[in-house]
Amino acid sequence: MAESVFDCVVIGAGPGGYVAAIRAAQLGLKTAVIEKESPGGICLNWGCIPTKALLKSAEAFHTLRHANEYGLEAKEIAFDFSQIMKRSREVVDKMTKGVRFLLKKNKVTLIMGTAQFDSPGRIIVSEENGNKLPIEYKNAIIATGGRARTLKSLPVDEERIITYRQALALKELPQKILIVGAGAIGIEFAYFFKELGADVTVVEIMENILPIEDEEISQTLAKNLAKNKMTIKTGTAVESLKRHGNTVSALLKTQDKVEQWDGDYCLVAVGIVGNVENIGLERVGITPERTFIEVDHYYRTGVDGIYAIGDVIGPPQLAHVASHEGIIAAEHIAGLSPHQLNYNFVPGCTYCQPQVGSIGISEKKAKEAGYNIKVGKFPFMASGKAVAANQAEGFVKVVIDSTSEEVLGIHIIHSEATELIGEASIILSHEGIASSVANTVHAHPTLSEAIMEAMADALGRAVHV
């Protein structure tokens, strides 16, 4: 069975797995990737991509309803929820076909089915038709991804009490929805549903929404969402959650105050757990720790020839992180000495409106780490491009070391923050110096000038604020 012997077998064709497989094939390794659902994984099929399609529809709806602010006239603006959801799935279909094309182009064998380790060096794939396909491998990369975390106190029924996956397949717009968890997933869905007219309440047990972001950014976003009549309850726990027919009821506790919430849907967005079950890890000597697989900086599991990447190895659970981990693992298998991923320089994005983009450490964490810092800010209301585009909300905030001027963190809240964070990523990954950025000529008028201006402000040489 020579055709079933591979140099590298990747389990899971998400943004980590398919990228790892392609890179391994590019390096001359005979490679297969095994996928049980659809190439692209959760990100492409049930996460990053379909949600961005929904959010774009919400943004367009918002712009049309405010056409008069641009000197335009648009009457009887409405939406078709079923068409919005259909468009989202059409985008997914187009992208999954693209992944299949890339795998074929790079001569990666795509095997559809469920994989289980049978013994060291051997995997059994259960195909949809019931066949059992044995695969022999010299190296394997586990890229099985993650799924929504569920808790006994938050009993998901996938109908009225749902996770992101069911939210992406809804047949109707919720009238009144409770969103538990104010991380990126929860906030993005909150914005989408609210923009289309739903009554939205967001509950977060931490003191701020987007709790991993800079506090000033999180608080600014919360004020903006509240201004648009979204109810946000931080420092609040869900004491109980029950469904009665088409009604969902919850008891919400904030300090010593308990109140009841009633609506038609609840979205649970309280984190991600790794998909470590039913893949035969015990047969090859791998023991997960709290649903995650421990690895070293080359993503080796400690078992010869077996690597793991992406959501299944734990935070930060981001598609772009998984892709880079996959490349490093594939290059190490091929005998190269790849760079190590610096997790301090990983950008994070939230695609509500205004968007949030950040990289590096926050002002608070910089102080806690003992840095002597300077902070610079530039408001977009002082940006000619932002004002002309009617997108003047938000600001850029930079944190720099006051002695070396090294840039420690860049935090942006603006309608285009997730695009602007690209420049910030280059600055931090190259250990950028604030004065160097401030001295770099930026095109005018552009939104990206705001990063330059914020650096100048941190250095005490701001001109436009």
CA distances from 336 to 141, 218, 331 (A): 16, 41, 5
Distance, CA of 265 to CA of 174 (rounded, Å): 6
Catalytic residue among 297, 442, 444, 464: 444
What token pair was written down for 114?
């469920």
Q: Contact 9/111 with Cβ under 8 angstroms?
A: no
Question: Whole-angstrom Cα distance, residue 434 to residue 454?
Answer: 9
pLDDT in tens, 155-181: 999 999 999 999 999 999 999 999 999
What's this model's pTM, rounded to 2 decimal places? 0.96
Q: Check pLDDT > 60 for residue 114.
A: yes
Residue 4 pLDDT: 85
Q: Are 326 and 141 in contact (CB under 8 A)?
A: yes
Residue 2 has pLDDT above 50, yes or no: no
Specify whether 444 is catalytic: yes
* % of the chain at pLDDT higher than 90: 98
Distance CA(373)–CA(158), nearest Å, equals 47
Q: How far is CA 437 from CA 61, 114, 356, 362, 398, in A?
A: 37, 49, 21, 19, 11
Positive or negative: CA dihedral 166, 168, 169, 174: positive
CA dist., res. 277 & res. 365, Å (int)? 35
What's the chain's Rg over C-alpha atoms? 24
Bridge pairing between strands 31-35 and 109-112: parallel
163 phi and psi, to 5 degrees? -115, -175
Q: Tell me the average pLDDT across 262-283.
A: 97
358, containing H or E segment: strand 355-360
Under 8 Å between Cβ of 18 and 39: yes
Confidence at 151, pLDDT banded by 50, 70, 90:
very high
Q: What's the pLDDT score for residue 1?
A: 40
Residue 442: exposure state from Cβ atoms within 10 A (0-12, 13-18, ≥19): middle
According to the model, what pLDDT value does residue 3 have?
53
